[in-house]
């Protein structure tokens, strides 16, 4: 539970993606911190939780996002949208004059040891993130960059990695052992958002990462102890084709500044152990 009270106890926040994986945790964190939460209701999308108000809007229709954002104290973009449409949506929200916290990704920083102030050098599969970040920061918005989000049977692991492991009979990594990925539990990540809303200056970026894990160790977890090395990222399984470039991008993302300046205190610090139990329960349902 967040210990960050909303200023004046009742600021209003519009959460984009409030019915989604990360967004429902973010909405709950703001509600527990005393904010009045509203969710964006997409046409044909999952209904906004009845505990919150709802306003209509479409991620593919920037004009609707601007109209939806007007009148709120804060907009938090915790939904999933990529490429040029995301940039246009961000521009529309900023044009409403409402403060924006936008969810990017730690992968935008590129390989190696990176920090909150590292100049992004993204791989081609997420190259669109860098110009979106520029728009957010130039417009006075704030960025949160999560690592691999896990927990509550959601995220990339059950959506993409487990189906591959079930099909191959083993977890998969590429080219070599020891490739590092940043990771964060969804509940810990969600608690960062109200802290940033209260403390962060406009135009800043914060890394939502709690630890670094090895891709080959994660592969063994998804494969119930069995993993296989794919020698090249050429012709990967279709389930992970869109992120295969990340399998060989070794990156260690620091969140030391974020923890210190935002007062963020994550509780889930053993991603491999957590995912081992979660995957063990999920694999039989996939035929393993």
Instruction: Say whether pLDDT at 195 is over 80.
Output: yes
Q: How much is the pLDDT for 137?
A: 98
pLDDT band at 83 (very low <50, low <70, confident <90, very high): confident
pLDDT level of residue 286 (50, 70, 90 thresholds): low
pLDDT, residue 138, reads 98
Q: What is the pLDDT of residue 30?
A: 98
Of 254, 216, 247, 250, give the one whose Cα is nearest residue 125: 247
Measured N-to-C along each axis, helices 84-95 and 62-69 cross at an angle, to the nearest 10 degrees, of 30
Burial (CB count within 10 angstroms: exposed 0-12, middle 13-18, buried 19+), residue 73: middle
pLDDT tens figures, 136-157: 999 999 999 999 999 999 999 9
Distance CA 228, CA 236 (A): 13
pLDDT at 281 over 80: yes
Two tokens at 216? 């080959």
Domains (range + CATH), the chain: 7-150+184-210+253-267 (3.40.50.720)
Q: List the one residue out of 184, 187, 203, 195 whose CA is nearest residue 270.
A: 184
The percent of residues above 90 in pLDDT, for the chain, comes to: 90
How much is the pTM?
0.94
Q: How many residues does the chain have?
A: 288
């Amino acid at each position: 539970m967040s210990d960050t009270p909303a200023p004046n106890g009742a600021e209003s926040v519009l959460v984009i993606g409030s019915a989604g994986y990360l967004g429902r945790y973010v909405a709950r964190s703001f509600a527990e911190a005393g904010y009045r939460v509203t969710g964006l209701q997409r046409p044909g999308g999952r209904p906004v939780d009845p505990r919150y108000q709802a306003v209509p809007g479409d991620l593919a229709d920037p004009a609707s996002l601007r109209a939806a954002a007007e009148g709120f104290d804060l907009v938090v973009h915790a939904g999933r949208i990529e490429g040029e449409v995301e940039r246009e949506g961000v521009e529309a929200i900023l044009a409403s004059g409402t403060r924006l916290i936008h969810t990017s990704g730690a992968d935008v920083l590129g390989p190696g040891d990176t920090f909150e102030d590292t100049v992004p050098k993204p791989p081609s599969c997420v190259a669109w993130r860098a110009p979106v970040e520029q728009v957010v920061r130039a417009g006075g918005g704030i960025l949160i960059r999560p690592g691999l989000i896990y927990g509550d049977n959601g995220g990339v692991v059950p959506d993409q990695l487990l189906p591959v492991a079930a099909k191959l009979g083993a977890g998969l990594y590429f080219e070599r052992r020891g490739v590092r990925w940043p990771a964060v539990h969804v509940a810990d990540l969600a608690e960062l958002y109200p802290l940033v809303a209260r403390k962060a200056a406009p135009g800043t970026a914060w890394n939502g990462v709690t630890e670094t894990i090895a891709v080959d160790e994660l592969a063994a977890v998804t494969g119930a102890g069995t993993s296989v090395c794919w020698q090249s990222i050429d012709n990967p399984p279709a389930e992970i084709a869109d992120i295969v470039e990340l399998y060989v991008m070794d990156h260690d993302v620091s969140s030391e500044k974020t923890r210190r300046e935002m007062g963020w205190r994550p509780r889930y610090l053993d991603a491999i152990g957590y995912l081992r139990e979660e995957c063990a329960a999920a694999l039989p349902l996939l035929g393993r």
